Amino acid sequence: MSESGGRRRHILLGREGAAGPRRTDGRGWELGIPIFPILHPPPPPGLLHLSLTNIIHPSIHRSSNRREDLPAAVDAMVGNRTWLGGLFNSSGRRRQVSAEKTFELTPLQEQRLQKLKERLNVPYDETRLDHQESLKALWNASFPDTKLTGLVSEQWKDMGWQGVNPTTDFRGCGYVSLENLLFFARTYPTAFKRLLLKQQGVRVKWEYPFAVAGVNISYMLIQLLELNSARPKSLPGINFIKVLTEHEEAFDVLYCIAFEMMDAQWLAMRASYMQFKEVLEATKQQLERELSLEDLHRIQDLPAYNLLCK
């Protein structure tokens, strides 16, 4: 039973499963990715009823990422299995091209795309020292004046993880989602801190939890750019490969841009916790449009790149 007395069940990416063992994909990973909860009973009129693919505890607060001020009625509830696919696949039809006829990868593009795909296949392993060090480095970059008491600690909720151990939040996206966050913190520290601490704009009481939002953005980018396919067939995916030619860290920089875009959408829509799906959908559509520009050759050519320079 949840804190609100509601019934929970897990919705796993691919098909629904109410009980029994969790399923894994071919790499041995648990299927699913943490996303945001919905109200149960159904939300009042005017709120979009979200459907979930997995369970995430609320961890939001006006001045931090913690869950203490949330009413008990808000908890991780159930939804149908179509949410994730609908969010990342059905909105706004992509401009499709024939990759076989119009786009051939150069040796450099093949090399860099393969290197990126290898990163996507690395699960987060809490027993690996390098993964532990990356997690500690993320904490130190986020809160340099606060000593981390341990890899399992209540402190992680201040960053917007679902519980005391961030490991559980990496299941759906792997080590690359931690790499993305750490790259953001190290490369654009001012922008990272501004989003982490919600320093800009008029904020609502029910803010999005920063770290888990970051994992969702990593996953969204992988789907948008078709990085799990042999090669992209949509214009955004093809243009990304061209950008990757000019900038080997294009995926990580694009992640930072997407995070900035999401937060800007959040503020523009005056969104609250229950509207995260709508915000991420609007972010995806805008990013899709920018990645479809004909004169896109460098990551700096994206109009939203300027968000990192605020």
pTM beyond 0.95, yes or no: no
Answer yes or no: is pLDDT of 226 > 80.
yes
At 9-31, the pLDDT tens digits run 322 223 233 333 443 444 444 44
Could you give the CA distance from residue 21 to residue 19 in angstroms, rounded to a whole number?
A: 7
| Predicted confidence (pLDDT) at residue 160 exceeds the cutoff of 60 | yes
Q: What is the mean pLDDT of residues 33-42?
A: 39
Mean pLDDT of 58-68: 39
Q: How many CA atoms lie within 13 A of 170 on its CB side?
A: 21
**Which of the four pLDDT bands, split at 50, 70 and 90, describes residue 204?**
confident
CA distance 196 to 126: 24
**The pLDDT of residue 111 is above 50:** yes
In one-letter notation, the amino acid at residue 174 is G
Mean pLDDT score of the chain = 75
What single DSSP character describes residue 96? B
What mean pLDDT is predicted for residues 182-189? Answer: 97
According to the model, what pLDDT value does residue 83 have? 28
Per DSSP, 200 falls in state S
pLDDT beyond 50 at 141: yes
